[in-house]
Amino acid sequence: MRLHQIITSLLEQDMYKFSMGQAIYHQFSDYKTTWTFKCRNKDVFFSTEMIEEIREQIKGFCNLRFTEEELTYLDNIKWIKGSYVDFLRLWQPRYEDFEITTDGECGLSIETAGTWLNTSMYEIPTLAIVNEVYFRMAYDYESLFDSFRKRLAEKKQKIESGEYRLGNYSEFGLRRRLSAQAQEYAIEELSSVKSENSAFVGTSNVYLAKKHKLTPVGTMAHEWIMCSGQGNKKHNPAYSNWYALDAWVKEYGVLNGIALTDTITTDCFLRDFQLTYATLFSGVRHDSGDPIVWGDKLIAHYKKLGINPKMKTLLFSDSLDFERADRIKRYFDGKINVAFGIGTFISNDTDEEALNIVMKVTKCNATDVAKISDTHGKEMCQNPEYVDYLQRCIDWRMKNE
């Protein structure tokens, strides 16, 4: 290992991995998944030295265990149950679940396979490792960090001056952060900002939320809908959202309720997000498509169901910067509650272009799964025939139901 160890705690994880992990443990413990890494940047290449460092860093991650102090912290989160905490007491990452080679388009290929319980927990630390290794080994890191600090100072000034009015916002940048140092620095700086119109309320990084006494933020990701809805071959995949919402309510009731809408398009989601679920869930999350069009659609849907939109929250998390968030906040002010999860713009805004890397579930129980999304290009599936099948199922449902 040429660099310092990047992931030093199993709490260095997005909160929604624990939220989903508990429901997986109780309801889908026998499901098996395959995850595939992809770098969307066309001009990025990972050298042999970088890949070897990534291997060593992932081995270091796999040697970690939860401490009793960390488990106590999780146990005190309102919706985390003791049975899941006891499972985590025994849990450890398995390096044997990883296949890391030089076969990818960018020179790097990573695939993980095993139980959903295990492989779900690998995505975020793996991406954080890949990102930090790349920026520390491909660039002069100190110069990058200096540009990061300068840009962050400008953001702080604009919040303090009232130029940006963001309302409640959180940091969602663990997977694509410049470094662990940069993410923590950003959280410390934004936590200190005094503003009447913007409130930094939390982070998706559970380790930093614990360390800095912030709220750990996150409920569900696309994998939840993809696997719970498409992992059973007997299910019609056009009803993925119904299966996912039903399982979530069984686990959490009215707690931990922000639903993700765009896995197989928001229009299809709304067919299942009827009065019961729309009442039980406190809000919904936007992750693709035009945010204004999407928000107006959700407001109209709540009104159609007889639900006061002002009692619900729209959480925006798609490629946000402060300017875009400010514009969304001003548009929806007085119509519905809004909040923001802002990632790369907070955790990796430097003089160099950020990596656009993802690691998505591509198979569940040996069958293909896919995300359609509300934005063309955000789909990820290794089998075009399955995507075609899924789209035809959705189209049939939308026309005939």
- Dihedral angle of Cα 285, 345, 361, 95, to the nearest 10 degrees: -130
- Which structure tokens are listed for 88? 């985590």
pLDDT, residue 100, reads 97
Q: How many residues does the chain have?
A: 401
Question: SS in 3 state form for the chain?
Answer: CCCCCCCCCCCCCEHHHHHHHHHHHHHCCCCEEEEEEEECCCCCCCCHHHHHHHHHHHHHHHCCCCCHHHHHHHHCCCCCCHHHHHHHHHCCCCHHHEEEECCCCCCCEEEEEEEHHHHCCCHHHHHHHHHHHHHHHHCCHHHHHHHHHHHHHHHHHHHHCCCCCCEEEEECCHHHCCCHHHHHHHHHHHHCCCCCCEEEEEECEHHHHHHHCCEECCCCCHHHHHHHHHCCCCCCHHHHHHHHHHHHHHHHCCCCCEEECCCCCHHHHHHHCCHHHHHHCCEEEECCCCHHHHHHHHHHHHHHCCCCHHHCEEEECCCCCHHHHHHHHHHHCCCCEEEEEECHHHHCCCCCCCCCEEEEEEEECCEECCCCCCCCCCCCCCCHHHHHHHHHHHHHHHHHC
Q: How confident is the model at residue 41 (pLDDT cuts 50, 70, 90)?
A: very high
289: left (phi over 0), alpha (psi -120 to 50) or beta: left
- Domains within the chain, CATH numbers bracketed: 15-138+353-400 (3.20.140.10), 142-347 (3.20.140.10)
Measured CA to CA, the distance from residue 37 to residue 109 in angstroms comes to 6
pLDDT, residue 381, reads 80
pLDDT, residue 374, reads 87
In the numeric block, the tokens 């579930």 are attached to 361
Summarize the confidence of residues 328-339 as an average pLDDT: 98
Relative to beta strand 32-39, strand 109-115 is antiparallel
pLDDT tens digit string along 43-100? 999 999 999 999 999 999 999 999 999 999 999 999 999 999 999 999 999 999 999 9
Mean pLDDT of the chain: 96
Residue 186's closest CA among 340, 12, 350?
350
Measured CA to CA, the distance from residue 335 to residue 330 in angstroms comes to 10
- Which structure tokens are listed for 383? 């089998």
pLDDT-above-70 percentage for the chain: 99
pLDDT, residue 373, reads 87
55: left (phi over 0), alpha (psi -120 to 50) or beta: alpha
- Which structure tokens are listed for 73? 């912290």
pLDDT, residue 285, reads 98
Measured CA to CA, the distance from residue 399 to residue 237 in angstroms comes to 15
Measured CA to CA, the distance from residue 256 to residue 239 in angstroms comes to 22
Summarize the confidence of residues 237-254 as an average pLDDT: 97
- Dihedral angle of Cα 291, 317, 26, 98, to the nearest 10 degrees: 120
Q: Please count the CA atoms within 13 angstroms of the CA of 145 that sit on its side-chain side.
A: 13
Q: Facing residues of 230 across strands? A: none
Relative to beta strand 32-39, strand 313-316 is unpaired
pLDDT tens digit string along 340-395? 999 999 999 999 999 999 999 999 999 999 999 888 766 678 899 999 999 999 99
> Residue 110 in contact with residue 97, Cβ under 8 Å?
no
Measured CA to CA, the distance from residue 27 to residue 251 in angstroms comes to 9
Measured CA to CA, the distance from residue 39 to residue 140 in angstroms comes to 21
Q: Residue 104 pLDDT more than 90?
A: no
319: left (phi over 0), alpha (psi -120 to 50) or beta: left
> Residue 174 in contact with residue 205, Cβ under 8 Å?
yes
Q: Residue 33 pLDDT more than 80?
A: yes
Predicted TM-score (pTM) of this structure: 0.96
Q: Please count the CA atoms within 13 angstroms of the CA of 32 that sit on its side-chain side.
A: 7
pLDDT, residue 264, reads 96
